[in-house]
Structure 1
């Protein structure tokens, strides 16, 4: 919003080399105050666009992480190497949090401070312009008013003097021509000479007035310089405050954007590398052998004499067994593999031992491990843990928490890197490396 017309704006570009002391040239300084308001808008727009970029980037990271988490979970990768794959996704999730925080802080801290400063330093008038701009222009106009009037008078005196000089020059030429013209009478020559004399007198008078007007300007110059300097310093004070504030705002922007000094950001990559370093091919191969290979337990088929009890069992449909009844009364007994191992836990006693199936399972083809229901878990004491990072649950069965929150871990980490926990009355899953025991 400007108190100046479009014509004035054009004049500024054309008159950019004219002196500040010339009439009206203070308007460039006044316009600078108007420009400061617009620069606030531009800077806010710049930062809002950057915040939007951060927001979109964070969203893309989250979507990417969710997509590949599903692919990895459904894929054939396993063990600590699977954890290493998922560490890449954890990095994206945590980086999402940091970039979302950048977006929030740019808008909530920096942009908000610029808007507040702009409101405090620019006060709109009812009709047009800002009070600060109008007051500054009025101060310049008053400081220049008398000097401008003297200058106008001097210009007019100069114009009159130059016109008299021109008329005198013409009269002198006419006089010289008349003196050599024998066709003119003495009276005609006398009139031409009188005209030249009058022109000379007029020129002298005009010169005196012109010189006097210049003296008046010179006498008023010190006062004019003083008054204009006072107004110019006011304009400089306005601009000094703006420049200092903009510097502070941009330093605040740097502080928000500089992830190199962000401790949380550094931890992301420290933890990322630690997880990658923990990837152990031998452990993974050993786990595979125990769960899917030669180290699995096996109840080998054995001959059993026919009995009514055995006969009744063999008539039942098999569920989850490999084999079933072998013809002619030979029963292939049910068998059960060792319990599943998590990718991070290889200390289970069943890991290195070919554990035979329990007697209970041998006699029950439908044996299975029942999961605890939520009612039981609500009363389970568990272990208190403290959240290391913020986490927003993506699925309905996931917990959400902030760094520093304390809650209860109900079940240890599974093979996919998740623990079950309880926050208040909510039970759900959370990434195992996002919390640590207290």
Structure 2
């Protein structure tokens, strides 16, 4: 379930599912409330029967063994209290079945109609309305994203061609014809950059022009959801209040009167205005009042070839180190005789670009070549990063590697898996028990308490960190601090 947790919002494509899920949850609440009252009715029926049997047993005993007089009179009156209490509890059972459960069933039948798909058709209708309102916007948004991707790809190719051109000008072994081809390719890509940029801006303009129509259509469907939720919430508050009155009839002692007064006050305070406030709060998070980061033109920024571990710091990434490139199929080791001087190109980069680049570098994807020194530098980088990253698992207090598999060491490092760590999806959902306490050192981590259960959402990454959910919070934690239930002997 944790893998399917929806991010808050409303205007983004697919975010309307919050409202569909709320409608489904409302249907389940009606069913759960009926189930709860059915169980309470069964308890009251059993208790009423036991009280009745108790009264009959002891009345017969008193009539048989106790002589007539004051003792027998008061004794029978006390036994009569049990019989009367039995009738009270039996009456509560009748109210729960004939009034509460019956009224809930009638409301559900009138408000929700079962379709051929064995589910309320109102849920399917709301989802269809949202999809219909969002379909044109999604089509324009997908087209805009496609144009932006093409624009970014051409920009990367143009940057790569520029580097090749600069290297050819400093390399005396490059022929004049080859240098001319490098120059022609760079000029052609510069023209392609301008063309794709115009296409990207045009689709973005078309998307923004349709925004008002899109907002109006989505707001109309959202209003329908709010009205249905208002009706259901009012019914639930009313039926709870009615149930409470039946319960309050059981006892009126001083011990319980204060509790019921407080409950009555809480129910009275849950009026239509309180429901409206709840609906307004929902709208601010998952409705038409929710903030949204509307699409806008973003200028191309060169990607940073810096592979950062999950949660690692990227503040020191300041530029791109470009070296001579050779064909992948040549497989010639870099030597002093066939390696040209490297050209360092410093590029300004924003924090948002760090760790978000495509798995393929610009030179790999554009020219079919690879950096002759990238592999070794990447390997060394991860060796260093495994010692300095802020997400290296701290050993638990008192842990000794020789103590056995209960506290496994960190997993072996794999640079490729760390390189693509930012693109990992939640593909695992396991229940695990926490073996050691852990206090988070950074904001994206979660606290662990020994003995509690945690839901593991991802397999350990190259540095031995998992993503999990505990106490309603989702974040990173050391994999060696927990043990999945399936792994227990």
Offset, 1:42: 0.9
Q: 1:12 touches 1:28 (CA, 8 Å); kept in 2?
A: no
Alignment partners' CA distance in 2, 1:100 and 1:129: 35
2:9 aligned with 1:56, yes or no? no
Matches within 5 A, 1:36-435: 36-76=26-66, 78-259=68-249
Greater shift in the superposed pair: 40-49 or 253-262: 253-262
Offset, 1:48: 0.9
Q: What does the per-residue CA deviation read over 1:170-209, in whole Å, with 9 as the maximum and x for residues that have no partner? A: 0000010011122223222111111001111111211221
Runs of 4+ aligned residues of structure 1 deviating over 3 Å after TM superposition are: 9-12
Q: What does the per-residue CA deviation read over 1:339-385, in whole Å, with 9 as the maximum and x for residues that have no partner? A: xxxxxxxxxxxxxxxxxxxxxxxxxxxxxxxxxxxxxxxxxxxxxxx
RMSD: 1.9
Query: Partner residue of 1:32?
Result: 22
Q: 1:55 touches 1:100 (CA, 8 Å); kept in 2?
A: yes
- Closer, same or farther: CA 18–166 of 1 in aligned 2, 3 Å: farther
- Closer, same or farther: CA 260–104 of 1 in aligned 2, 3 Å: closer
Structure-1-length-normalised TM-score:
0.55
Query: Partner residue of 2:306?
Result: none
- Closer, same or farther: CA 43–82 of 1 in aligned 2, 3 Å: same
Task: Give the secondary structure class of the aligned counterpart of 2:210.
Answer: helix
Offset, 1:36: 2.1
Query: Partner residue of 1:363?
Result: none
Offset, 1:77: 5.1
- Closer, same or farther: CA 234–12 of 1 in aligned 2, 3 Å: farther
Query: Partner residue of 1:273?
Result: none
Q: What does the per-residue CA deviation read over 1:207-228, in whole Å, with 9 as the maximum and x for residues that have no partner? A: 2211222222222112111111
2:19 aligned with 1:21, yes or no? no
Structure 2: gaps spanning 5 or more residues = 253-489
Q: What does the per-residue CA deviation read over 1:221-260, in whole Å, with 9 as the maximum and x for residues that have no partner? A: 1211111111011111111111110111111101211126
Q: What does the per-residue CA deviation read over 1:38-76, in whole Å, with 9 as the maximum and x for residues that have no partner? A: 221111110011111111111111011111112212224
Query: Partner residue of 1:296?
Result: none
Q: What does the per-residue CA deviation read over 1:141-187, in whole Å, with 9 as the maximum and x for residues that have no partner? A: 11101110011011111111111111011000001001112222322
Q: What does the per-residue CA deviation read over 1:292-336, in whole Å, with 9 as the maximum and x for residues that have no partner? A: xxxxxxxxxxxxxxxxxxxxxxxxxxxxxxxxxxxxxxxxxxxxx
Offset, 1:31: 2.5
Task: Give the secondary structure class of the aligned counterpart of 2:220.
Answer: helix
Alignment partners' CA distance in 2, 1:53 and 1:94: 17
Offset, 1:18: 4.3
Q: Looking at CA atoms only, which structure, 1 or 2, has the larger radius of gyration?
A: 1
Alignment partners' CA distance in 2, 1:241 and 1:154: 40
Structure 1: gaps spanning 5 or more residues = 1-8, 263-438
Alignment partners' CA distance in 2, 1:84 and 1:27: 66
- Closer, same or farther: CA 30–224 of 1 in aligned 2, 3 Å: same
- Closer, same or farther: CA 106–89 of 1 in aligned 2, 3 Å: same
Q: 2:66 touches 2:72 (CA, 8 Å); kept in 1?
A: no
